[in-house]
C-alpha cells in the first residue's frame, strides 16, 4: 500500500508511483495480453555511472529512467530548463528528496570537485 509520500509518475499515471525517498511502485493492472499484474515495489538497477534507475513500460515500450531525476521532478521545487539534479551529500545512492537540489551544470561540477577536497 502506498503512503502519502508517493505520487504517480508523470506520463505513467495509474501505472507507476514514486516515493519521496526513491522507491518505485508498479500499480496493479491488466497488461496488453489481458493478464492481471499485481502491484509491487520495483527493483532498481545501476547504470555505468553508478546512478540508480528503473525500467518503466507503457504501451509495450520500455524506458529506463534515473530515480534521482524522478524524485527531484516530483518532490523538489525550483526546476528550470537546463538544470541538473545534484546529490547534496555526494552519495548517488541517497535519492531522498531532502538530499536533492536543482543546479546548473557548472554548479553540479563545482559541487563534485568541492566534495573531493
pLDDT in tens, 49-74: 999 999 999 988 999 999 999 999 99
The pLDDT value given to residue 34: 92
* CATH code of the domain covering residue 72: 3.90.75.20
Segments forming the whole domain that contains residue 88: 6-116
Instruction: Give a yes or no: residue 1 inside a domain.
Output: no
Instruction: Give a yes or no: residue 45 inside a domain.
Output: yes
Q: Select from 67, 75, 64 the least CA-distant residue to 51.
A: 67
Instruction: Give a yes or no: residue 99 inside a domain.
Output: yes
pLDDT at 11 over 80: yes
How many structural domains comprise the chain? 1
Residue with cell 505513467: 12
Percent share of the chain, pLDDT over 70: 93
Instruction: Give a yes or no: residue 61 inside a domain.
Output: yes
Helix (H, G, I), strand (E, B), or coil: what is residue 68?
helix
pLDDT category of residue 1 using cuts at 50, 70 and 90: low
* Full-model pTM: 0.87
Amino acid at each position: 500500500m502506498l503512503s502519502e509520500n508517493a505520487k504517480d509518475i508523470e506520463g505513467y499515471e495509474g501505472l507507476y508511483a514514486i516515493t519521496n525517498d526513491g522507491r518505485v511502485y508498479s500499480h496493479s493492472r491488466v497488461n496488453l495480453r489481458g493478464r492481471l499484474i499485481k502491484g509491487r515495489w520495483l527493483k532498481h538497477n545501476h547504470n555505468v555511472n553508478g546512478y540508480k534507475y528503473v525500467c518503466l513500460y507503457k504501451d509495450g515500450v520500455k524506458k529506463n529512467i534515473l530515480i534521482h531525476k524522478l524524485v527531484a521532478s516530483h518532490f523538489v521545487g525550483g526546476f528550470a530548463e537546463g538544470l541538473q539534479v545534484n546529490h547534496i551529500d555526494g552519495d548517488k545512492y541517497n535519492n531522498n528528496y531532502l538530499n536533492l537540489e536543482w543546479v546548473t551544470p557548472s554548479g553540479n561540477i563545482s559541487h563534485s570537485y568541492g566534495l573531493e577536497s
